[in-house]
Amino acid sequence: MPEISLYLDEDVRVLLAEVLRSRGYKAVHVLEVKRTGKSDDEQLAYAVSKKMAMLTHNIGDYIKLSRSYIKENKEHFGIVVSDQMPFNELLRRMLKFLSSNSRESIKNRIIWLQDYK
């Protein structure tokens, strides 16, 4: 199963990328690649250019962006959206998500992390 690479938005704690990497997953935070302050559209375009799925707490804006991509026949590598929650719960759900999906299974989809309780 091709591994999902993750690009974490500014509103997600940097620590999550660090912990995921320590467990063997590919994850990078916008801060780590010096892309803070970029628009949501620019962040998603960057994720697409790197073939990465996006993780964000900015649910509404990224749902709109995903719809825009579909309408324009553009592809993305998945957008994982989540409410704010305690770090340990976010990590647990992300690990469950990552272990049960592939890059292809999430392509062009919005994934609700709440479905991975």
pLDDT score of 71? 96
The set of long-range contacts for 70-75, using a CB threshold of 8 Å and a minimum separation of 24, is 70/108, 74/48, 75/48, 75/107, 75/108
- pLDDT tens for 12-58 read 999 999 999 999 999 999 999 999 999 999 999 999 999 999 999 99
pLDDT score of 8? 98
Specify the CATH number for the domain of residue 12: 3.40.50
How many domains does the chain divide into? 1
Q: Could you give the angle at which helices 14-22 and 87-99 cross, rounded to 10 degrees?
A: 50
| 3-state SS, residue 26 | strand
Domain range for 92: 5-116
Distance of alpha carbon 8 from alpha carbon 68, whole angstroms: 20
Beta-carbon contacts of 57 under 8 Å, excluding residues fewer than 6 positions away, are: 9, 11, 12, 81, 82, 83, 84
Distance of alpha carbon 76 from alpha carbon 91, whole angstroms: 23
Residue 111 has pLDDT above 80, yes or no: yes
Residue 1 has pLDDT above 70, yes or no: no
Look over the chain and give the mean of its residue pLDDT values, rounded to a whole number.
Answer: 96
- pLDDT tens for 64-109 read 999 999 999 999 999 999 999 999 999 999 999 999 999 999 999 9
